[in-house]
Each structure stands twice: as C-alpha cells, then as structure tokens.
Structure 1
Amino acid sequence: MALDCDWLIIGSGFGGSVSALRLTEKGYRVLVLEKGRRLRAPDFPKTNWELKRWLWMPTLGWRGLFEMSFFRHVTVLSGVGVGGGSLVYANTLPIPRDDFFQASSWGHLAAWKEELAPHYTTARRMLGATPNPLRTVPDRVLQDVGTDLGRTDFQPTTVAVYFGEPGVTVKDPYFNGEGPDRTGCTACGGCMLGCRFDAKNTLDKNYLHLAERRGLTLHADTEVTWVRPLPDGGYEVEALQGARRFFRKKVRFTAKHVVFAGGVLGTLDLLLKLKASPDGLPRLSDRLGDGVRTNSEALVGVVSGRKGQDLSRGIAIGSILHTDAQSHLEPVRYSAGSGFFRLLMAPQVSGATMLQRFVRLVGLLVRHPLRFLKAWFVPDFARRTMILLYMRTLEGHLRMTRSRRLGLSTALQEGPAPSANMPEAFDLARRVADKLDGYPMTIVSETLLGIPTTAHILGGCCMGDSAETGVIDSRHRVFGHEGLYVVDGSAISANPGVNPSLTITALAERAMTFIPAARTAPRDEVASPAGPVSSGARAS
C-alpha cells in the first residue's frame, strides 16, 4: 500500500517547524497538521480585549492564538496556530547555563553543551536573533534595581525581531530573497498578541516559509485525534478538520514516520490517550507524563503611580537582570490598551497557606482600599503597568495523567512543588514599586491559591537509556515504536531556567541530523485529505 507521505508532523511550533524544513531539504514528502489557524498580520488583535481574535476557546467559537489551561498545580499559557508558540512568545532567545546541560536527569546521555553549540548558532541565525537596541523606562528601572543589589549582570535580551527602519517594509533581509518581506519594529509592545507589523520573526516567516517553498504541505485547522500502527509498517493518523467546531470532518493520512510536536499539553494529551487504548500505542513507556517542569516563575504586575510614563512602548521583553546564579528578572509588557489581565489581578500578598494569604489580602484591602482601587481602575492598564517575570532553575517535578472524564491533570512527583509565593520575587517587586511609585499586583489564582502561572511548561516525554527510564532516547525516538519521534518541549529533560524556545529549536536541529537523506526525490506532493473515515477512502 502506498503511503500518503514519508513524514507526518503533528504541530507547527519550534520542534515541528524545524523538523518540517530539514526533512523537506532531505528529499522527503512531509505533511504538517496544525489544529490552529493560519494567521496573517491583519488577523492579530490590536489589544487583548478583542477576545475572539486573541483567545483560543473553540467551544465558544473563539479561534485566536493564545490559550490558558488551568491545572491543580500550575496555570499554563501557550500559543495556537501556524507557528505555534512563536506567535505569542516574547521573542527572547537565551542559551541556558551549564547546569542545564549537566543535569543528572539527562547529562549522561550526551555531551549536550558541545553537541548543541553549533545548533544554537544555526537556530539563532534562522530565527534572526539580534540584541535588543531599544532602551525603555522598564529597562532603566531594572538596571537601577540591579545596581541597588550590587548585581551588574544586566543586559539587553537577544530577540527574534527585525529592527529595520520602524514601519518601513523591505524585501527579505534574511534568506537571500527566499523569505517574506519584513517591516521594521515599531516598538508598539504587542509582540505577545501576534505582531501586526511583520517585524517578529515567527516560524511562519522562516522555517515554515522555507519548507513550504521546498514542497511541504501544511493543513491548518486540523486536529489530530488518533495514531495507530499499520500492519505492514508506518502509521495511520486520524484528524478532525475544519474551523467550525461542530461541522468538522474526519480525515486520515498514512505515513512511514510520525513526529509528535504539539507542545507539552498537545503531545501528552494525545500520547496518554493512545497509551490507554489497545487500538493506539499501548507499548509506550510507563514514564510517559513524568518529569513535567516549569521554570519556577512568578509574575507580578507593578502599576505605576506616575501618569506621564508610557510603559507599553518597546518589545515584549527588552532586558534581563541576573539576580543570582540560579535566578533572573525580566520586564514584560503588552501594547497600549491591552488591559484584559486587570480582571484577574489582586494585590500581592505572601503567606504559606491560602488562609494566611486570604487574611492578609482582606487586611490590605481594608487598610488601603483607595490605593487598590486607584491601581485597578487606572485608565490604561498596559501603559501604566510594568510586568515582572522572575525565573529560577529550581528542580521540582509534576506528573501529568489523563482521564476520559477530566482530561489532563497534574500531581506532585518529586522535589518542591511549583509555587507562586517566592520571597525573592516579592522583594524585587517591592523594589521596582518604590522606583515607580507603584502598586504590586498578581493574578488572583497566584495570590489566593498559590498556583503559579507559566509559559514554559516542559517535560513529560523525557529522555532515557531505555523505556524503563524514559519515553524517548537521546535522538528523540520513541521507545517501542519504530518511526515515532517526539520533538518539542515535552522532550526537554531538565530545567533550563530561561525561555526554552531556542533550546527546543536547537534540539530539533540536532535530532534531524540523525535522519538520512531520502534515497529518491519525492514522487509527488502530499495529498489532501480524502473525506470521512467511514467512507474507507484514503488520500492518494
């Protein structure tokens, strides 16, 4: 039986996009399936009050690019659409410190720092990495805080942004005419809403764009629901296709190899479902779902008391201050008018238990009600708020499981639980507030429930020597299933302590070097889906 494609990739984020380009370059017929939309610059919201265009909530018919997923131990922020997390991430491309590469969880599997070094270089070139040239009020405040603490390790971020002449469009400045036109960054602060000016180097403007020029077929609005082995080798992949939730059609494809690249939540949800069924992939490792990590973040918004300052101008994250060997602080922003998160904010309070935090919160509101009301009702929340992102390389693991009734859920596995109550973060927020005459606030789930928020969920398909110690090997091959790979954040097997996007890209670049070139050139383009599964028809 002829297969529809050589490689089928589930997801178009950092792992999936890299895989797509490198495999097409090797001469394979490659198909990418992405559950989200293909978005162009005019499709992105101007502010995060445009909920239908911003949020991914398909049950309501909202098919935006930003998803919030709530669990017992963590709230996860992620991106959806062609380009995955690159659509909503804050552009930063840091390389982790040495502890990450040497961590006991995976350090014995390869000489990671040395092996990944050339792939980090390639990834930064492909993503158009450059130091941020802009200097804004939050950057100066952060540097002043560092000076007060005696910390001089302050620097601009390295980011995936085109800093040409602001607002001026030029022919492809990156790929010798093969890339799309780009426009110089206008410093609007809207990076995480989707760049409306084509200045952000999202994956649809580099890896995916080049892959499609080389023959990649990509189907958006196509959510994979099942993967099963074929009797003669290869896999059958079923999916629901269509933008209208209750009018999607079932389609299926066959492929010799399948790459799971749907991000931690997408990949784990699908693999855990497949492991539980004899018609799926029951031989998957029992370690599936283990070792889920965050970067141990804390998010604090400091609402400035100074009316004349516009804190929304710049890029999403423009600088970084290393506060000690394991921790750092970054200033984050949204564009002017983007005040949605004020609905979720409460005064910052500390406390070991929910009762302590609740008592302190009530006490603070009773003693200083006007200060809270003045901050909460500030006319333009984004213009007046400096968001602080504090991250550290604390190792604590969660385990993700799945039930038919509740879907994905989290449980503590080992080490300290993720926590939103970090004295170091609170102290830094207080110092920033002093410099802005500001009022510190946090998301209410962090304030009362102590549940942290992360945009950097990792692990769950960790690497190991065998199926007893991991889900995949050091080349991203799934144990027990020839032809299956996991190439996304769920494969990261230690805490990088920084934005993991560059590391996922570098790992994907490395993984693809182990794939040999196709023996023959592609015979034809990948077929389109051939209608309902029940019809028995296949793509041809």
Structure 2
Amino acid sequence: MQHDFDYIIIGSGFGGSVSALRLSEKGYKVLVVEKGKWYKATDFAKTNWKLRKWLWMPHLRFFGIMKMSIFKHIVVISGTGVGGGSLVYANTLPIPKTNFYKSGSWSQLADWETELKPFYQLALKMLGAARNPKLFDGDIALQTLAKELGREDQFEHPDVAVFFGKEGQEVKDPYFEGKGPDRSGCTFCGGCMTGCRHNAKNTLDKNYLYLAQNNGAEILAENEVVDVVPIDNNDGASGYKISVKSSTKVFGKKKHFTAKGVVFSGGVLGTIKLLLQLKQKSLPLLSDTLGDNIRTNNETLISVSTLDKSKNLSKGVAIGSMLHTDENSHLEIVRYAEGSGFWKLLHLPLSNGKNSLTRLLNMFKQFFRFPLSYFKIYFRNSWSKSTTVLLFMQSIDSTLKFKGNWFGGMSSTVSSGVKPSADIPASIALTKKYSEIIGGKPTSFVLESIAGIPSTAHVLGGAVMAEDSSKGVINKNNEVFGYKNMLVVDGAMISANPGVNPSLSITAIAERAMAQIKNKQKDN
C-alpha cells in the first residue's frame, strides 16, 4: 500500500528529533508533527514577563515555549515548540549513575550501562556538549557550600549543550563539518530557559532537526495529533491513518495522513495523554500498564534571594555548577537572565510541615520575623539578579500513575512508594546553608508552600519497557506491544529513576532505538 509517509513522528523533542534524523538517513520519508511554534533566536521573549512568548496557554492565546501542568501530586514544567524541551531546558547533559541501569522494569532486558555507552557518546557529540568554563556568584557560593560540607571533590562544572566560542561572535557551523547552521559564542546572560536569543544554545532545531530537514524530513508545526487508526488490520501491519488539527487556531479543518509507522515522541504529558485517549477507541490493544510508573526524579525547586546588592546571581549559563551531596542526591544552581522576575509573583516564603495549616502558619512566621527582607525581595530588588533556584534531585524511587479524566485531560494517583513531597529534609537543610552563604531568604512556588505539592521539570515514564505487555507498554527496542511499526521514543519510555536531568538519556536511548531499524529497501 502506498502511504503519504513512511513514518510520522508525533513531537519534536529529544526523542522525536533523533528519530527524524536517523529515519531520514535510512531513506524513509518522514513527517514530524509539533503542536508548538517555530522560534528563531530573535523570536524568544527578552524576559519571562513577556508571557505570550514564554508560556504555552493556548486558551489565553499564549504560544510560548514553556508549559505548566498542575496535578494533584505534582506540578510539571515542560517545553513546547519545534525542538521541544530543548528550547526551555537548562542545557545540562549528565550521564546517570549505575543504579539507573539496574533498577525499574527494564533492568533485566539488557546490560544497559554497557549497551548505551556508545550511544551516550554519540548523543554528547550531536548535542555539542562542552564543560562549562566559567563560574559566577551563584556557582561560587555552591562551591563554598561544598567546602563547608567537606565534599569539594564532589563539586563539578557540568557538561552543557552550549557553544563557548568568543562571546557574541558568529562563526560557521563548528559541529557538523559545515553542514549545520552558523553559531555564536555564549554571552553568559543566564537567559537559556526563556529561549537563547544569542544563537549559542544547542537546541534540537540546530542539530538533529536541522540535519533531518536537509535529508528531506518535513516538519508540520502548530498542529497536534488527535487520532491514530490502524489501516485494515487491527495491529497496524498495513499502516496507520493519522488525524491532526491546528493547535493555535480556534477553527480549522482536520488534516489526515497515512504512514507505515508511527513514533510517539510528545513527551510524557503529550504521549501518555494521547495514548490513554486512543486506548479507549482506536488502539485498544495498548497495555493496561499505560500511564503507570510515572517518575519525577524526587525533586524540589527552591529559590534563594540574596540581599547583598554586590552579587549578580543571573550571570552564567542556566545551570553552571552542581554538587553531589550524597550517593543518591545532588544540588544544582539554576538562574534566569536579569529582568526575568515573573516567578516572584508565584513564590512565597519557604515553609514546610505535614499539612497546609502548619505550612501557612510557618510561612506567616517568616513574614513577621523578616518583614524588611521580604519587602526588598518582592518590591525593591531585581528578582532574577538577586535570586538563584536550587534544584535538588534524588535517585530514590517512587512512582505515580496518570489516568484519563472526564475533561479529556489526566489526573494523578500514587502508584508505588511514598507520594512526591516538597518537604525533603536534606533539601531544606542544604537550602538553609546556601541561604546563609549568600545572605538570602528562601522562597518556593505557591503550591509547594501552601499545599506541599512539589514541582518538577523532569517527569518520566508511563510507557515503560518490559518483557511483555503485562508489565510495560514497549519492548527493549521501544516497539509498542500489540502493534506493528509503532514506537514510543521520548521521556515516557524512561523505565527507572535517573536522578539527573534526563535529556541526554532520552537522546541516547532514542539513538539506540533508531539503530535497530533497518534501512529502507529500494523498490525494484
């Protein structure tokens, strides 16, 4: 049967972009469907006060690069746009420790640490990984904390997806023998997470997607997939009919395409939501474990604002340093560019406790004990210049489950272990020490301070690997149980807790998945 495309890829993040390039290299005709917009460097918001260019809230006609999704147990920050999460993430590319490969539903399927090693190296090369060369005020304070804890040897400059040439100077493609776009040296402005306006951040539209387009891959932006229906056979052996609609227009006709294969790469929130809907109608053979084994890296995000006007905490790359605080945990310094102070409207004094009443009382105690300090934080100081965000992660495992709800969205329940919590004693203790070093006060997102609901930028799982459909959604080659030529290649496939930023791991596993697919056979 003749199809419009050999493969249609749903989503253009780390998994989708790898799939687009490698499939196009193998001779396949590829279409990438992305609900977000195309962004050039000059299109990004100068500060996060420019909400229409920063936040993705279509019902308000905001078509930016960052989306916030609130669930009962977690607040998820994710990326939207051509290039997916790479547009808004903090650039870090760490390789997980051994426990990641030996835990979770995938642990017995392969010797993952050995098998993925070459693909991690390939991913680092493709993403232009480089060691952060400079430390600034926020990083130096973390280095001081490392010394105080006696863990100076556990402090490091991370590998980041940034081009460190001469600051602001444009050069010909430094990565792909001239086949990629021109690049400019990082200015260390701290604006990575509102979108790099200086052409220094190695986002996916500058490597994988750029090269895929050169191979003939097509990208359909501002559209989202609403249905995937097997043609003729229930298992998709004859291909699929894919229906899409505009994600930015109120009115618009649906488009329909056919493809031999489908790759789901819309991130956890996109892929799991869509698959849960499709399981109820056009893809009933999907595993009943769909939506289970959702992980969050056991994170906390706590802001600390200094009252020392000599410090500039906005200077540097988004994450320029990290400290391994114990064998299961680490702490990273996160920053926004000067002028990006929107977050202060959603932050309250850090408060912990077992229930909302206790947290509220503790929060008001902080207000009354230090009224002048909080007045300066909220009304006098430049929030981003005086504030760093402490990102604390743990590889300790606990899982959630996402289910479809009556409103067409998803809701969360606890699956195994304890529910995610913003009240992690180790994180609170580290925050206190860091606050003392920079002479600051801690605040956190309003739902953390009042409801104890933690935030994460690294939601994972929901379509995990396993030996059969009773334990997972996909096999070790990312193929969906029950269907032919259907794969899940994004954060939803991550089957254990990496305890670090997962972008590199998603890229490496995607590279391995694509390596298993044979080249297209030419018609005689």
How would you bin the TM-score normalised by the shorter chain?
A: over 0.9
State the alpha-carbon separation in 1 of the partners of residues 387 and 376 from structure 2.
Answer: 13
2:217 corresponds in structure 1 to: 216
C-alpha RMSD of matched pairs (Å): 1.1
2:349 corresponds in structure 1 to: 347
2:21 corresponds in structure 1 to: 21
State the alpha-carbon separation in 1 of the partners of residues 343 and 365 from structure 2.
Answer: 23
Deviations for 1:487-533, whole angstroms, at most 9, x for unmatched residues? 00000000000000000000000001110000017x9xxxxxxxxxx
Letter in 2 for 1:362: F
1:533 corresponds in structure 2 to: none
- Of 350, 375, 381 in structure 1, the residue corresponding to residue 377 of structure 2 is 375
TM-score normalized by the length of structure 2: 0.98
- Once the two structures are TM-superposed, the CA of residue 406 in structure 1 deviates from its matched residue by 5.4
State the alpha-carbon separation in 2 of the partners of residues 76 and 368 from structure 1.
Answer: 31
- Once the two structures are TM-superposed, the CA of residue 242 in structure 1 deviates from its matched residue by 6.1
1:239 corresponds in structure 2 to: 244
1:334 corresponds in structure 2 to: 336
1:158 corresponds in structure 2 to: 159
- Once the two structures are TM-superposed, the CA of residue 362 in structure 1 deviates from its matched residue by 2.1
Query: What SS class does the counterpart of residue 365 from structure 1 fall into?
Result: helix
1:364-443 → structure 2 map (5 Å cutoff): 364-405=366-407, 407-443=409-445
- Once the two structures are TM-superposed, the CA of residue 276 in structure 1 deviates from its matched residue by 1.1
Query: What SS class does the counterpart of residue 301 from structure 1 fall into?
Result: strand
1:311 corresponds in structure 2 to: 313
State the alpha-carbon separation in 1 of the partners of residues 365 and 139 from structure 2.
Answer: 33
State the alpha-carbon separation in 2 of the partners of residues 330 and 368 from structure 1.
Answer: 26
1:527 corresponds in structure 2 to: none
1:69 corresponds in structure 2 to: 69
**Cα pair 2:307 2:373 within 8 Å, conserved:** no
- Once the two structures are TM-superposed, the CA of residue 351 in structure 1 deviates from its matched residue by 1.0
Deviations for 1:284-330, whole angstroms, at most 9, x for unmatched residues? 10000000000111111111011121111110000110000000001
Deviations for 1:341-387, whole angstroms, at most 9, x for unmatched residues? 00011111221222211121122223332222222223310000011
Letter in 1 for 2:219: L
Letter in 2 for 1:193: T
Deviations for 1:44-80, whole angstroms, at most 9, x for unmatched residues? 0000000011110111111111100000000000000
1:186 corresponds in structure 2 to: 187
State the alpha-carbon separation in 2 of the partners of residues 422 and 403 from structure 1.
Answer: 30
1:514-533 → structure 2 map (5 Å cutoff): 514-520=516-522
State the alpha-carbon separation in 1 of the partners of residues 217 and 123 from structure 2.
Answer: 20
- Once the two structures are TM-superposed, the CA of residue 394 in structure 1 deviates from its matched residue by 1.5
Query: What SS class does the counterpart of residue 90 from structure 2 fall into?
Result: coil
**Cα pair 1:242 1:248 within 8 Å, conserved:** no
Alignment identity in percent? 51
Query: What SS class does the counterpart of residue 53 from structure 1 fall into?
Result: helix
Q: 1:156 to 1:338 in 2, by over 3 A?
A: same
State the alpha-carbon separation in 2 of the partners of residues 378 and 296 from structure 1.
Answer: 33
2:108 corresponds in structure 1 to: 108
**Cα pair 1:395 1:415 within 8 Å, conserved:** yes
1:195 corresponds in structure 2 to: 196
Query: What SS class does the counterpart of residue 302 from structure 1 fall into?
Result: strand
Query: What SS class does the counterpart of residue 249 from structure 1 fall into?
Result: coil
State the alpha-carbon separation in 1 of the partners of residues 375 and 403 from structure 2.
Answer: 41
Aligned residues: 519
**Cα pair 1:106 1:464 within 8 Å, conserved:** yes
1:55 corresponds in structure 2 to: 55
Instruction: Report runs of 4+ in structure 1 exceeding 3 Å deviation.
Output: none
1:356 corresponds in structure 2 to: 358
2:4 corresponds in structure 1 to: 4
Q: Any stretches of 5+ residues in structure 2 without a counterpart?
A: none
- Once the two structures are TM-superposed, the CA of residue 144 in structure 1 deviates from its matched residue by 0.8
1:121 matched to 2:121? yes
Query: What SS class does the counterpart of residue 448 from structure 1 fall into?
Result: helix
2:299 corresponds in structure 1 to: 297
Letter in 2 for 1:112: W
1:37 corresponds in structure 2 to: 37
State the alpha-carbon separation in 2 of the partners of residues 51 and 104 from structure 1.
Answer: 38
- Once the two structures are TM-superposed, the CA of residue 104 in structure 1 deviates from its matched residue by 4.2
**Cα pair 1:397 1:414 within 8 Å, conserved:** yes
**Cα pair 1:242 1:249 within 8 Å, conserved:** no
Query: What SS class does the counterpart of residue 254 from structure 2 fall into?
Result: strand
State the alpha-carbon separation in 1 of the partners of residues 434 and 7 from structure 2.
Answer: 50
**Cα pair 1:378 1:384 within 8 Å, conserved:** no
